[in-house]
Amino acid sequence: MAPGNGRPPLAAGFGMSDDKPVRSRRLRWKLLAAGLLFGLGLDLVTPSSRGMTLLAVLLMVGAAAWFVSLAVGSPGHGVLYRRRREIVLALGTASITVAVVVVLALAVRIAPRHLTLENQSYDSDLGWAPPDVTDRVGQRGDAVDPDRDHVVIVGDSIMYGFGVDDDQTAAAQLDRILEDQQVLNIAVSGYSIDQDYLYLSRVLPHLRPKLVVVGIFTGNDYEVTGLEYAWGHSKPLFRAGADGELVRHNPDLLADNCIDHLAQSLLFRVLWSDKERALDLIHLFCDPVKLGPEELEAVIAELFARMEAEAEQAGAKILFVLLPIGEHLKSVERNWRYFRRYDLLRQLLREGGHEYFDFYRDILFETGEAETDVFLDGAHLTPNGNRILAEAIAREIDQRGLLDE
């Protein structure tokens, strides 16, 4: 018998020990979660989207209510009934959490997920672009030889050479074929026709171009050019003015922007890795602009004309290359929409009087129905596919006399 109360001591292990430290730790974790939820709500607030702002307010109100309920709690258990030190600790934990979340959110906006690709950063005019360096150009950072004339390769990830080494791209292999000119690859992954035009305008004055080769990918260049976003982030969008001129719909991509805000939010960071879910969220919260067929055709036709004018002003000729997807080698009936884009782009080039050639014939002649030696994934080219493209471009240059004085 224990002295003093006439009752035996309670044995350890029967669940009757003092659990105040456990309750205190749990409370701090819950306060931390409430602070995190409040910070994520702050991260979502953007004047450009009522839906996102409403969601942000609901999150912050819910987090604040949760925090208050935890702080007040029941007598003997709530933090307001504990020692002053615990009150300060709880409030400090929540405050630090909110501050850390907001700082992280700002840091994430500097480097969105899409821009983690090699040698790209956020750009207020283009959406994303390689560093603005005069002696190096393009996503691969080709070093410019100022003493040589240049053949400039323009386009998206197909011309960039996604999935192959630097010396295996079509541009690198074309550089080995053309002995008198330096071939510079200024293609950037994810670009559409409007971004091709803007980046060409930026780079061309710093070069000595003799020829500009523009790759037009028939898989998605047509559609993406008509959108104000691509790959989950805002991009330039031109609209057709009343006089036929191009009018920039979004001249400042640094302005408050629902699409970028959503894409770079910590709350949606995981969801953004799923393409279809990301598109659904963009349309739900941001209501993005999408050009109709007639306006889009007029815009693309004018972009082709402007690229040719930029090349001519720099003293260069221009050659457009229609780049197919692997599905073109299969059935027309199964992929009619891709052929429709292909034919439409070819029609716009032909009606504009532009020099172009159809790379589809070279691939079909080389592979027949077997595409595995040409395409990595149905769109991007293998090293052998890039070789075929380089040789086709070299052939067209020679036959058309595009580098003749």
pLDDT at 35: 74
User: Which parts of the chain register pLDDT below 50?
Assistant: 1-3, 7-17, 74-76, 78-79, 109-114, 331-333, 369
Extract the tokens encoding 152. Answer: 């400039």
Q: Please indicate, yes or no, if residue 184 is contained in any of the structural domains.
A: yes
Residue 15's pLDDT is what?
42
pLDDT given at position 246: 94
Indicate whether 36 and 174 sit together in one domain: no
Residue 100 shares a structural domain with residue 135: no
AA identity, residue 362: D
CA-derived radius of gyration, the chain: 29
- Count of beta carbons in the 10 Å neighbourhood of residue 271: 14
Last residue of one domain, picked from the residues 111, 137, 164: 111
pLDDT tens digit sequence for 362-402: 877 665 545 568 888 888 999 999 999 999 999 999 999 99
Query: Which residue, 56, 77, 111, sits at the end of a domain?
Result: 111
Express each pLDDT in 108-157 by its tens digit.
544 444 455 567 888 889 988 998 877 899 999 999 999 999 999 999 99
| Burial of residue 274, with CB atoms counted within 10 A of its CB: 0-12 exposed, 13-18 middle, 19 or more buried | exposed
**What is the structure's pLDDT at 333?**
47
Q: Are residues 100 and 142 in the same domain?
A: no
- 262 touches 281 (CB < 8 A): yes
Final residue of a domain: which of 85, 111, 137?
A: 111
Tokens read off for 216: 């037009």
**314 and 193 in one domain?**
yes
User: Are residues 93 and 139 located together in one domain of the fold?
Assistant: no
Alpha helix segments (H runs only) across 266-377: 275-285, 293-313, 336-351, 359-367
Q: Looking at the structure, do residues 82 and 177 belong to the same domain, yes or no?
A: no
- Which residues constitute the domain of residue 26? 20-111
